[in-house]
Amino acid sequence: MDEEYDVIVLGTGLTECILSGLLSVEGKKVLHMDRNDYYGGDSASLNLTQLYRKFRPDQEPPTELGRDRDYAVDLVPKFIIASGELTKILVHTDVTRYLEFKQIAGSFVYRDGRISKVPSTEMEAVKSPLMGLFEKRRAKKFFEFLQGWRDDDPATHQGINLDRDSMKTVYEKFGLEPGTQDFIGHAMALYLDDDYITKPARPTYDRIILYTSSMARYGKSPYIYPLYGLGELPQSFARLSAIYGGTYMLDKPIEKIVTDSDGKFVGVTSGGETVKAKQVIGDPSYFTGSDDGKVRVIEEGKVIRAICILKHPIPGTDDSDSCQIIIPQNQVNRRNDIYIAMVSSTHNVCAKDVYIAIVSTIVETDKPELEIRPGLALLGPIYDKFVSITPLYTPTSSGKEDNIFITRSYDATSHFETVVDDVHDVWKRVIGSDLVLKKREVEVQE
236-252 pLDDT, tens digit per residue, is: 999 999 999 999 999 99
Q: In which order are the strands placed within the sheet that holds 355-362?
A: 114-117, 106-111, 323-327, 338-344, 355-362, 297-310, 384-395
Which helix H or strand E contains 138, and what residues bound it?
helix 133-148
Find the farthest-apart pair of alpha carbons in the chain and give their distance in angstroms, rounded.
72
DSSP SS3 for 53:
helix
Q: What is the tens place of the pLDDT at every residue in 12-69?
A: 999 999 999 999 999 999 999 999 988 999 899 999 999 999 999 999 999 999 999 9
- Which amino acid is located at 178 in the chain? P
Report pLDDT for 131. 86
Cross-strand bridge partners of residue 31: 8, 247
CA nearest neighbour of 76 among 34, 105, 48, 40:
40
Strands annotated E in 209-354: 223-226, 247-249, 256-259, 265-270, 273-282, 297-310, 323-327, 338-344
Helices (H), 322-445: 368-371, 373-376, 417-431
* Whole-angstrom distance, CA of residue 29 vs CA of residue 3: 10
| Helix (H) or strand (E) run with residue 240 in it | helix 232-243
- Which pairs from 138-146 meet CB under 8 Å and 24+ separation? 138/174, 138/175, 138/176, 138/180, 139/174, 139/176, 139/180, 141/174, 142/170, 142/174, 142/176, 142/184, 145/174, 146/205, 146/208, 146/209, 146/212
CA distance 180 to 143: 12
**Nearest CA to 13 among 78, 101, 99?**
78
192 closest CA partner among 117, 300, 101? 300
Better-predicted residue by pLDDT, 386 or 82: 386
pLDDT tier, 442 (very low <50, low <70, confident <90, very high otherwise): very low
Strands (E), 38-166: 45-46, 73-74, 80-81, 101-103, 106-111, 114-117
Answer for the pair 24, 32: CB distance below 8 angstroms, yes or no.
Answer: no
CATH fold for domain 106-218: Guanine Nucleotide Dissociation Inhibitor; domain 1 (1.10.405)
Mean pLDDT (whole number) for 121-127: 75
DSSP class of 153: -
pLDDT value, residue 446: 34
| Contact (Cβ atoms closer than 8 angstroms) between residue 7 and residue 281 | yes
Is the distance from CB of 29 to CB of 52 less than 8 angstroms? no
Instruction: Report pLDDT digits (tens) over 257-290.
Output: 999 988 899 999 999 999 999 999 999 999 987 6
Per-residue pLDDT band for 439 (boundaries 50, 70, 90) equals low
Cα 329 to chain centroid, rounded: 19
If you average pLDDT over residues 341-366, what whole number do you get? 96
Say what percent of the chain tops pLDDT 90. Answer: 77
Mean pLDDT of 404-419: 91
Is-contact 93 240, C-beta < 8 A? Answer: yes
R_g of the chain computed on alpha carbons: 23
Q: How far apart are CA 134 and CA 137, in angstroms?
A: 5
pTM assigned to the model: 0.90
Show Cβ contacts of residue 321 under 8 Å, excluding neighbours closer than 6 positions.
105, 313, 343, 344, 345, 346, 347, 355
Which of 154-158, 268-272, 288-292, 375-379 is the least confident region?
288-292
Residues 199, 230 contacting (CB under 8 angstroms): no
CA 133 to mean position of chain CA atoms: 36
288 in Cβ contact with 392 (< 8 Å): no
Rounded Cα distance between 53 and 303, Å, is 21
The torsion of the CA quartet 27, 231, 229, 18, rounded to 10 degrees, works out to -30
Parse the chain into domains and list their residue ranges.
106-218
pLDDT of residue 445: 35
Residues 6 or more apart whose Cβ sits within 8 Å of residue 13: 40, 41, 42, 43, 234, 283, 407, 410
* Contact criterion met (CB below 8 Å) for 258 and 269: yes
Cα–Cα distance list, 38 to 41, 49, 278, 386 (Å): 8, 13, 26, 20
